[in-house]
A and B are shown apart, each in its own frame.
Chain A
């Protein structure tokens, strides 16, 4: 405000006033998420905390203030900690939530954050905006010449309702405590845990299996009743000697199917060493998602069952590691090795990141064919080619000479100069066929005539 900035000002004007302004894109979703996180942090002061609108948090500190040294103590502590987080705040304590809202935002400069009980005069002196009305109601009030809460409160109720609607009266009643406005706190997520404590320590594999089955049955039944499916599960074994072992499994689809999750665990139970015995087991679903039941079809033929595919991917990923079961995702790029990306196979159809489209070459004569297999790292070869642009006459790869019978090209693929790691040399790709019929994709990196570095040849892929 001091610098002349205001909400809704165009960026150019703001920049003109303050040249070194820091600019960032607004992210409403991230803001909402961080507000919720801050609300959960505020439960250290009172369990009754809830977000209020887009930029506020309201707490009911009845009976909590004495723990922090009174109301002044709470305000000071909260302001200090939030300042330490780097968050600027305006706080207020009042009898009612509506009064606190108004006091926090519109109190006079010299007034403190705490509104004394029964101090109606201070409330009356607040501007009408402290009533939290819609903009058109505020305009009407301004046009009528009503500028403070006191002037509005002094009017008879009947004509006020008739003229401005019920909202104004409701706000007034809330502010002065005549109407109730409860704060509903955020529900704390209950952890999904199932425990089993044994009378005698167990050690045999069959017993561990049976115990896991029982834990799973419990947990799956609870999750199913609540419409949740597990994405990540953690099974902990508490041994007699105090050591704790863990097994974690993950699924690509939320699941509460006992058979499926048991299969995922069964492969990892071999790695459990019972030692002198296991005295307790705890199964927790650390990450859950709402599970939508799928309707199965009536078909008796082999239709694609997306759930079956998801379960297959789960089993593969849990045994081999998630990075080893991947799908191909197209990327907008001319450079061949970057035109596709490997993405960990997630739930069918869900891709992480921006999805490009596969740019599939249409015709052979357009010289944009791509090889069937691509070497992850192009192999250097020695090639003999007439300068400057012609395909090689022969090349040597892995101690074998290949004489070229037919060649197509060049297809020039330049480096992506707009990327940070650009600045590489352009490549000329040739589709070559040797005398035996094998077809390769080779390229020359760099141009002839470059004095500093002669061009090099590489083998990049194989054509069918």
Chain B
């Protein structure tokens, strides 16, 4: 006999009981990206349940990180499960999710369920099953490009199961799809801290958003401490500002974005006080 999972009717009693139950681990209907400016550009003030695509350049981990941060926010403190589907070749070329690394982006490693499937049909089937299951935080899939029919099925399955399906196709995607939003994420040089790479920075573009919204782009920076994205404002002279929360005595160099000038490579050997950085030109 199936356990009784039918929802209770919306009577006065359930309306009284429901708020009293304080269900802190309920899946939010709409997950915000964490950056107010990006949320403001979306008609739902966040990403609703359904199918979303995050594409990027080949061999970059930026799109994986963006998707992971969204999934992590949906997974929340309780660590609701995240289904991560990919074929083996993606694991061999672009790397497999690594637990301690995923933790930096707000995903509890215990929440990850890794699914490996070779045939695209199997991969799409696994995504659909996961999207349909109520209570999964998100389904993330790499290395598969569904056609229009398959993407519609994924969208419907996500609506049934209140799930978030994040597709990470390889390269730039222009094929028709019924995804609610389409993003393109690229890595950007970070603001250096003590000579080494600082907080990761990405260039996030919203290519398509169902229900309005034109092409928008932002430069975001991932904050390790707050586990959230923050948009980096661009200053009048074209350089990027430092985010409000500063590191501990970092003397990072400002790098100008316009003109695509690459700064001097490598580190300079300084005296005993430490390495010396030359200010960027331009």
| Residue ranges of A at the interface with B (Cβ–Cβ < 8 Å) | 224, 257, 259, 293-294, 296-305, 307-309, 311-313, 315-316, 319-320, 324-328, 330, 336, 339-340, 342, 345, 358-361, 364-365, 369-377, 390-391, 393-394, 403-409, 431-433, 435-439, 461-464
Contact = CB atoms under 8 A, between A and B. Distances in A.
27 contacts: A259-B2, A294-B3, A301-B26, A304-B80, A308-B135, A309-B136, A320-B116, A340-B99, A340-B100, A358-B99, A364-B198, A364-B224, A372-B97, A373-B95, A374-B98, A374-B101, A391-B267, A405-B265, A432-B197, A433-B196, A435-B189, A436-B187, A438-B61, A439-B187, A461-B101, A462-B60, A462-B95
B125 interface: yes
Contacts of A404: 265-266
Contact of B190 (A328, A369, A433): A433
B200 A394 contact: no
Contacts of B194: 365, 408
Interface residues of B, number: 83
B187 A296 contact: no
A435 B117 CA distance: 35
* B interface secondary structure, majority: loop
B5 A302 contact: no
Contacts of A373: 61, 64, 94-98, 101
Contact of A327 (B17, B61, B114, B199): B114
Given A374-B95, A406-B189, A407-B266, 12 more contacts: A298-B17, A312-B130, A327-B110, A358-B99, A365-B194, A369-B104, A372-B104, A373-B97, A437-B186, A438-B60, A464-B64, A464-B202
A101 B98 CA distance: 60
Contacts of A315: 129
Nearest to B63: A464
Nearest to A440: B61
A405 B263 contact: yes
A345 B189 contact: no
Most A-side CB within 10 Å, residue of B18, B61, B64, B126: B61
A300 B18 contact: yes
B182 interface: no
Contacts of A305: 5, 134-135
Most A-side CB within 10 Å, residue of B2, B115, B136: B115
Contacts of B68: 372, 464
Contacts of B201: 437
A330 B189 contact: no
A339 to B, nearest CB: 6
B197 A439 contact: yes
Contacts of B110: 327-328, 358
B273 interface: no
B196 A406 contact: yes
A339 B103 CA distance: 13
A325 B114 contact: yes
Given A360-B103, A433-B190, A316 B135 contact: no
B195 A464 contact: no
Contacts of A439: 61, 187, 190, 197, 200
Contacts of B162: 302
B180 interface: no
Contacts of A431: 196-197
A320 B126 contact: yes
B95 A371 contact: yes
B135 A405 contact: no
Contacts of B95: 371-375, 461-462
Contacts of A308: 133-135
B197 A325 contact: no
B232 interface: no
Contacts of B62: 438, 464
Contacts of B116: 320, 324-326
Given A224-B1, A294-B3, A369-B104, A312 B197 contact: no
Contacts of A374: 95-96, 98, 101
Interface in B219-276: 222, 224, 247-248, 262-263, 265-267
Contacts of B27: 302
B208 to A, nearest CB: 23
Nearest to A403: B265
A257 B81 contact: no
B64 A301 contact: no
Contacts of B133: 308-309, 311-312
A316 B116 CA distance: 10
B265 A371 contact: no
B12 interface: no
A372 B61 contact: yes
Contact of A405 (B1, B26, B94, B189): B189
B21 interface: yes
Contacts of B187: 436-439, 464
A437 B189 contact: yes
A372 B192 contact: no
Contacts of A298: 8, 14, 17, 21
B114 A437 contact: no
A303 B98 contact: no
Contact of A371 (B101, B192, B248): B101
A406 B266 CA distance: 6
Contacts of B263: 405, 435
A372 B64 contact: yes
A414 B123 CA distance: 39
Per CB-CB distance, the 7 closest pairs between chain A and chain B, nearest first, are A373-B95, A408-B196, A464-B65, A462-B61, A433-B197, A370-B100, A437-B187
Contact of A394 (B1, B4, B98, B265): B265
Contacts of B200: 439, 463-464
Given A298-B17, A305-B134, A330-B109, A359 B100 contact: yes
A325 B197 CA distance: 35
B26 A302 contact: yes
A259 B26 CA distance: 26
A441 B78 CA distance: 30
B164 interface: no
